Amino acid sequence: MPDHEVRFCTALDGVRIAYTVSGEGPPLVNARGWLSQGVDVVYSGATLAFHERLMQGRTYVMYDPRGLGASERDIDEVSPGNPA
C-alpha cells in the first residue's frame, strides 16, 4: 500500500474526522470496522495485498468514524444523528 498521510476534516458540529486517500479512479470508501483496522495502521502480508487489490483503479478513501481510531474521541454526543 503506498504511503498515505492521515488527514482530518471537521464535521458540522466541530468533531475532527481522520481519513486517508490513495489512488485514482471511481471512489471506494472504507469505514473503520469494515475491511479495516483504522487509517493509521500499517498493513502487511495478506492484509496489504487485500487492500492493494481494492485500490486498483480506484480512489480508495478510508476513514475512522467519530469517536474511533485517529478521529476525535472527546465528543459530546453519540446518537443516530451523531453516530460513533
Instruction: Kindly report, residue by residue over 27-60, the tens digit of the pLDDT.
Output: 998 876 555 556 766 667 887 888 888 889 999 8
Helix H or strand E segment including 17: strand 16-23
Proportion of the chain above pLDDT 70, given as a percent:
73
Residue 21 or residue 36, greater confidence: 21
Reported residue count of the chain is: 84
